[in-house]
Structure 1
Amino acid sequence: MNKTPVHWTKKLQKSDKPAYLSIADLIADDVRTGRLVARDRLPTLRELAEDLQLNYTTVARGYSEARKRGLIDTHAGMGTFIRGRSPSLPLRGGSAAEMTMNLPPEPQDPALLAHMHDTAAGVLASADLYALLRYQDFGGTLHDREVAAQWLRRRLPTCRVEQVLVCPGIHSVLTALFSQLARPGELVCVEALTYPGVKAIAAQLGIQLHALPLDDDGPSAEAFEHACKTLHPKALYCNPTLLNPTTATVSRSRREALADVALRYAIPIIEDDAYAMLPRELPPAMATLAPGLTYYITGFSKCFGAGLRNAYVCSPGDRQSQRLAGAMRATTVMASPFTNALASFWVEDGTAEAMLNAIRDECTARQAIAERYLAPYGMLGHPESFHLWLPVAEGWSPVELAAHLRSQGVGVVASAAFSTDGDPPDAVRICLGGPTTLDECERGMHLVADTLLHPVHHHATNL
Structure 2
Amino acid sequence: MTIYTPNTKDRTGPKYKIIADAITDDIHDGHLAAGVKLPTHRDLAYRLGVTVGTVTRAYAELHRRRVADARVGSGTYVLDIARQAQVFSPVSNITSHEPLHRSDNRPTLEQPRDGNIDLSMNRPPPGPETEALAGTLRQLSGRNDLSILTQYNPAPGMLHHRKAMARLLNTIGLECEGDDIILTSGAQHAMAACALALLNAGDVLLTENLTYPGMTSLASHLGVRMRPVMMDEYGMRPDDLEAAVRETGARVVYIIPIMQNPTTATMNQERLQAIAAIAKRHNLIIMEDDVYGFQPKNRNPPLAQLIPDNTIYTNGFAKSIAPGLRVGCMKVPKTLFSAVTQAVQITGWMIPPLMGEIASQWIDSGLAQHIIDWHQDECIARNALAAEIFKGFSFQSQPECLHMWLDLPDGHHADDTLRNLRDQGVILAGPESFITAQADVPRSLRLCLGSTPTRERLKVGLDRIHKVLTEQPVTGFARMENMVI
TM range (shorter): 0.7 to 0.9
Which range moves more in the overlay, 387-396 or 134-143?
A: 387-396
Which range moves more in the overlay, 124-133 or 428-437?
A: 124-133
Looking at structure 2, the residues matched to 234 and 92 of structure 1 have their Cα atoms a distance apart, in angstroms, of: 33
Looking at structure 2, the residues matched to 405 and 218 of structure 1 have their Cα atoms a distance apart, in angstroms, of: 29
Look up the match of 2:86.
96
**CA RMSD between the two structures:** 3.0
Q: Which secondary structure does the structure 2 equivalent of 1:430 belong to?
A: strand
Look up the match of 2:398.
382
CA deviation after TM superposition for structure 1 residue 259, in Å: 1.1
Q: Which secondary structure does the structure 2 equivalent of 1:210 belong to?
A: strand
CA deviation after TM superposition for structure 1 residue 76, in Å: 11
Looking at structure 2, the residues matched to 396 and 98 of structure 1 have their Cα atoms a distance apart, in angstroms, of: 25
Equivalences for 1:155-170 in 2 at 5 Å?
155-170=172-187
Aligned length, in residue pairs: 388
Looking at structure 2, the residues matched to 141 and 352 of structure 1 have their Cα atoms a distance apart, in angstroms, of: 19
Equivalences for 1:325-404 in 2 at 5 Å?
325-404=341-420
Q: Which secondary structure does the structure 1 equivalent of 2:325 belong to?
A: coil
Look up the match of 2:445.
428
Looking at structure 2, the residues matched to 424 and 293 of structure 1 have their Cα atoms a distance apart, in angstroms, of: 32
- Aligned with 1:121 (options 138, 142, 145): 138
Q: Which secondary structure does the structure 2 equivalent of 1:188 belong to?
A: strand
Change (3 A) 1:77 1:114: closer
CA deviation after TM superposition for structure 1 residue 113, in Å: 4.5
Equivalences for 1:274-289 in 2 at 5 Å?
274-289=291-306
Contact 1:295 1:314 in 2 (8 A): yes
Contact 2:279 2:285 in 1 (8 A): yes
Look up the match of 2:434.
418
Q: Which secondary structure does the structure 1 equivalent of 2:342 belong to?
A: helix
Gap regions ≥5 residues in structure 1: 1-35, 41-74
Look up the match of 1:61.
none
Contact 1:156 1:288 in 2 (8 A): yes
Q: Which secondary structure does the structure 2 equivalent of 1:146 belong to?
A: helix
Change (3 A) 1:179 1:424: same
Look up the match of 1:443.
460
* TM score, norm. by length of structure 2: 0.73
Looking at structure 2, the residues matched to 240 and 119 of structure 1 have their Cα atoms a distance apart, in angstroms, of: 33
Is residue 2:471 matched to residue 1:454? Answer: yes
CA deviation after TM superposition for structure 1 residue 229, in Å: 1.7
Gap regions ≥5 residues in structure 2: 1-13, 19-51, 68-79, 90-119, 481-485
Q: Which amino acid aligns with 1:353?
A: Q
Q: Which secondary structure does the structure 1 equivalent of 2:314 belong to?
A: strand
Look up the match of 1:216.
233
Look up the match of 1:303.
320
Q: Which secondary structure does the structure 1 equivalent of 2:308 belong to?
A: coil
Looking at structure 1, the residues matched to 150 and 122 of structure 2 have their Cα atoms a distance apart, in angstroms, of: 31
Deviations 1:340-373 (A, max 9, x none): 1111111111111111111111111111111111
Contact 1:164 1:315 in 2 (8 A): yes
Look up the match of 1:189.
206
Q: Which secondary structure does the structure 2 equivalent of 1:375 belong to?
A: coil
Deviations 1:260-296 (A, max 9, x none): 1111111100000000110011122111221111001
Deviations 1:191-235 (A, max 9, x none): 001000000000000000010001122212112112222211130
Looking at structure 2, the residues matched to 415 and 369 of structure 1 have their Cα atoms a distance apart, in angstroms, of: 23
Contact 1:86 1:209 in 2 (8 A): no
Look up the match of 2:125.
105
CA deviation after TM superposition for structure 1 residue 395, in Å: 4.3
* TM score, norm. by length of structure 1: 0.77
Equivalences for 1:42-81 in 2 at 5 Å?
none
CA deviation after TM superposition for structure 1 residue 440, in Å: 0.9
Contact 1:193 1:245 in 2 (8 A): yes
Is residue 2:157 matched to residue 1:140? Answer: yes
CA deviation after TM superposition for structure 1 residue 131, in Å: 2.0
**Higher RCO, Cα 8 Å, sep 6+:** 2
Q: Which secondary structure does the structure 2 equivalent of 1:376 belong to?
A: coil
Looking at structure 1, the residues matched to 62 and 305 of structure 2 have their Cα atoms a distance apart, in angstroms, of: 30
Contact 1:88 1:419 in 2 (8 A): no
Contact 2:121 2:451 in 1 (8 A): no
Change (3 A) 1:115 1:79: closer
- Aligned with 2:308 (options 291, 302, 307): 291
